[in-house]
Structure 1
Amino acid sequence: MTTTAAPATAPFRFFDVHVVRSRRLGPAMLRVTFGGERLDELASGGRDQRFKLFLPQPHQDRPVFDDLGEGWYTAWRAQDPAERAVMRSYTIREQRPDSGEFDVDFALHGAEPGASPTLSTPFAQGSAPLTAGGPASRWAAAARPGDRLTVLAPAVEDNGGVDFRPPAGTDWILITGDETALPAIAGILSWLSPGTQAKVFIEIGHEDDRQPLPTFADAEVSWLVRGPATAAHHEPVLDALRTAALPAGTPYAWVAGESGTVKAVRRHLVRERGFDRRAVKFTGYWRRGASEEDLLAELTAGAAAAEQD
């Protein structure tokens, strides 16, 4: 199977992009295609390639920055929160360098323009104010061709925004996640070498959120549909793992999704399944009751405290 070492370099650059088109993938997922100048310089590493997406405030037609140089983060933090761009982390679902486009799949988290559209009809743009979901979900649900954003994305394929890196000696792959991890899971499966053994558990909110997941790997995919009445009390991925028959040999696990579920899955794999901690890559893509601003504030405070210590 394919293995990769840690990246030697990790340069990222700012790119101005615009919406080319969007289409609904299912009740909870929307794909937005972006275009822009210099996108031939954007170099996705595939797999779970993440990048930073910057949204304008509702009264702006594009994100506003005071600095796009090496000190961008400090300058961004210092901006008036009502004026600075809304920053979110997303996965590059697919890049097409020849056409200067890339796709990003958004989990909508209930963001709807008016009544829920059917899968065969486009969004009724501007039909009603969007109140559900977070800023990125609301933006995606209302996105129109020409809408402008800024992204901070990799300029080399081997970059620090790719986490899926099974080490040499791995015999099989375990992948778990929810809707927010689905774009990364799709990217990982399309990247795996022929014959790689993989067990995949994906939690979704509706049967129609299933997607084709092309892969050359020998992958067994389990779709776990949570019921709306029990969503707050059950953990479909963890429940499925507890009873799953897993392959023999040395595993590598990639675990993503809601932070609490991710931690519970990691504990199960390490304590009950005997996985080596170093062979479990886990990432909380979101946390119940917390925005990315909350998480960034916690991270910044933690870093400041560490420096003082």
Structure 2
Amino acid sequence: MTLPVSYVEVVAVDRITPRTARITFEADELADTVGGTPDQQLKLCFPRPGQREPLLAAPQDDPMGWYHAHLAIPEAERPVLRSFTLRRRHPGTRRIDIDFVLHGDTGPAAAWALRAAPGDRLGMVGPSELYAPAVPFSGDRKDVDWLLLAGDETALPAIATLLEALPEGERAYLWIEVADRAERQELVSPAELEVRWLYRDGAAPGSLLAEEFRDTVLPGGEPLVWLAGEAGAVRAMRRCLIECEGVPKENIDFTGYWRHRLTQDDAPTAEDLADARERPAGNS
């Protein structure tokens, strides 16, 4: 299966909250399957200083072969990769929306998004069926009684697509931690939702979610759980669900989207490697 590789160009920038920019891109190429399912993951390739667009390795049938070709590009010219969730595909077009959390000028993605303007170009790797979520969040799920989705603002794009795909009448609980009340976003779903917004208001990222899981009694029955956000907070939530609530490990889909004081360029910690071994096969 070929890993899709394409250039994308900014056509619009919309500040949907004070700290979130929704950027619309036109892709040079886009498979028909893109946008057809929720929680589609991709990587954006950011140019190095002085480049108008990033230098991309050619598409290959072997994803690892593509990544090795990417690493073979001289470091001064090699694009910086960052992971994102596809928020939306505009029907009948090659246009897609991707949300950027604006957390200052410290990281390459946020710094780029602060200045993004129509005509700017990035590279895009994926979305690919190779990295589809392992736990299904659409269709018939008679084996579970309710759903639980929890995460911080980096998880909101994925949560929104999962909610939009739920069937009518599904019961879903959401716990979402954001910087403050201004960061709330409208969530639309045919399902029956119960949403808790947790506002940090200066507290450490992930701290409110971890505390909420320790202090809350969950509904009875067997849940299907989706967790994403800061890796330490995700780890604490998952541990609480398994050890305190008795939720089976196989019922929990979890991803550490980012790490406090570390970037995607830093080596994985022992906890990161342990998490990777625990995640279901096929879950990226």
Does the 8 Å contact 1:14/1:152 carry over to 2? Answer: yes
4+ residue stretches of structure 1 with deviation over 6 A? 296-300
1 CA distance for matches of 2:13 and 2:135? 27
Shift in alpha-carbon separation, 1:11–1:162, aligned structure 2, 3 A: farther
SS in 2 for 1:262: helix
The aligned amino acid for 1:200 is L
- Structure 1 gaps of 5+ residues are 1-9, 112-131, 304-309
- Alignment of 1:99 with 2:81, yes or no, is no
Corresponding residue of 2:166: 192
Which deviates the most, 15-24 or 244-253?
A: 244-253
2: distance between equivalents of 1:82 and 1:187? 36
Checking the alignment, whether the CA contact within 8 Å between 2:3 and 2:59 is kept in structure 1 is: no
1:210 and 2:204 are equivalent in the alignment: no
Paired residue for 1:222?
196
1:44 aligned partner, one-letter code: G
Residue of structure 2 equivalent to 1:249: 221
Code of the residue aligned with 2:27 in structure 1: it is G
Distance 1:56 1:255 in 2: 31
Give aligned pairs, total: 267
Q: Are residue 37 (structure 1) and residue 24 (structure 2) matched?
A: no
SS at match of 2:97: strand
Gapped runs of 5+ residues in structure 2? 277-284
Q: Which moved more, 1:158-167 or 1:178-187?
A: 158-167
Contact 1:11/1:159 (CA < 8 Å) preserved in 2? no
Q: Does 1:294 align with 2:271?
A: no
Question: How much does 1:43 deviate?
Answer: 1.9
The 5 Å alignment of 1:136-175 reads: 136-154=109-127, 159-166=130-137, 169-175=143-149
1:175/1:255 contact within 8 Å kept: yes
Query: 2:56 pairs with 46, 54, 65, which one?
Result: 65
C-alpha displacement of 1:296: 6.8
User: How far apart, CA to CA, are the structure 2 residues paired with 1:164 and 1:295?
Assistant: 27
Residues 42 and 153 of structure 1 are in contact (CA less than 8 Å); yes or no, is this contact kept in structure 2? Answer: no
Matching residue's letter, 2:171 = Q
Change (3 A) 1:253 1:295: farther
Task: Specify the alignment match of 2:8 in structure 1.
Answer: 17
Contact 2:5 2:58 in 1 (8 A): no
Larger Rg: 1 or 2? 1
Over the aligned positions, Cα root-mean-square deviation in angstroms equals 2.3
Q: CA deviation at 1:163?
A: 4.3
Under a length normalisation based on structure 1, what TM-score does the superposition of the two structures give?
A: 0.80
| Distance change (3 Å), C-alpha of 1:79 and 1:40 | closer
The aligned counterpart of 2:280 is none
- Kindly provide the amino acid, as one letter, of the partner of residue 183 in structure 1: P
Say whether 1:133 aligns with 2:143. no
Tell me the CA shift for residue 58 of structure 1.
1.9
Q: Which amino acid aligns with 2:132?
A: G
CA distance in 2, matches of 1:75, 1:87: 14
What TM-score do you get using the length of structure 2 for normalisation?
0.87
**Distance in structure 1 (CA, Å) of the matches to 2:120 and 2:134:** 30
Question: Which structure's relative contact order is higher, taking Cα pairs within 8 Å and 6+ residues apart?
Answer: 1
Classify the secondary structure of the residue corresponding to 2:250. Answer: helix
- Cα distance in structure 1, aligned partners of 2:187 and 2:216: 21
Residue 264 of structure 2 is aligned to residue 283 of structure 1: no
Please list, as runs of the form range in 1=range in 2, the aligned pairs for 1:47-58 lying within 5 A after superposition: 47-58=38-49
Residue identity over aligned pairs, in percent, reads: 38
SS in 1 for 2:266: helix
